[in-house]
Amino acid sequence: MPFTEKLLLLAMAAQVLLTVALLIWLGRERVPRIMSGEINAADIAVERTAYPLKARLLSNSFDNQFQLPVLFFVGALVALHLGVIGWVEVLLAWLFVILRFVHAGIHVTTNQLYHRFAFYCAGLAVVVLFWLWLVLRILFASSI
């Protein structure tokens, strides 16, 4: 397997790690409150407002990992399948993942909306560039 493919897979693994870490952190915020009776299960069966702010922020950040990252994963898998992975794809993949880590960090700490939105938009721009580059590589590659 070429080194660039390994680096792309590592970027994908880092994004998965972020998602799993948020889920574990979320569970550590939610489960003890339900188990202790602090929060009634019926109060959270439909909506999250009974949870404290930290748990709601973690939940929103976790949910957010199934928005833009889906576009990233699909693009990365297409690139892997077609074997069109070069340094541009690797750079864009890692830039996207770093932006997702920063976005999640803002989301679960200060939650400053304008900063969070800026990093979300930056991630969106990177994933769009990734896809545009991928499509151009596919269209103009003679060996695919």
7-36 pLDDT, tens digit per residue, is 999 999 999 999 999 999 999 999 999 999
Task: Classify burial at 122, counting beta carbons within 10 Å of its beta carbon; exposed 0-12, middle 13-18, buried 19 or more.
Answer: middle
Q: Assign 110 to helix, strand or coil.
A: coil
Residue 19 CB-half CA count within 13 A: 16
Task: Specify the amino acid at residue 58.
Answer: L
**At residue 85, what are phi and psi to the nearest 5 degrees?**
-105, 115
Q: The CATH number of the domain where 77 resides is what?
A: 1.20.120
Q: Residues in the chain, how many? A: 144
Whole-model pTM: value is 0.94
pLDDT confidence bin for 47, thresholds 50/70/90: confident
104-133 pLDDT, tens digit per residue, is 999 999 999 999 999 999 999 999 999 999
- Nearest residue to 73 via CA among 5, 120, 11, 19: 11
User: Angle CA(83)–CA(87)–CA(92) in degrees, nearest 5?
Assistant: 100
The total number of structural domains in the chain stands at 1
Calculate helix-pair angle for 53-64, 87-108, nearest 10 degrees.
160
Owning domain of residue 8: 3-140
67-88 pLDDT, tens digit per residue, is 999 999 999 999 999 999 999 9
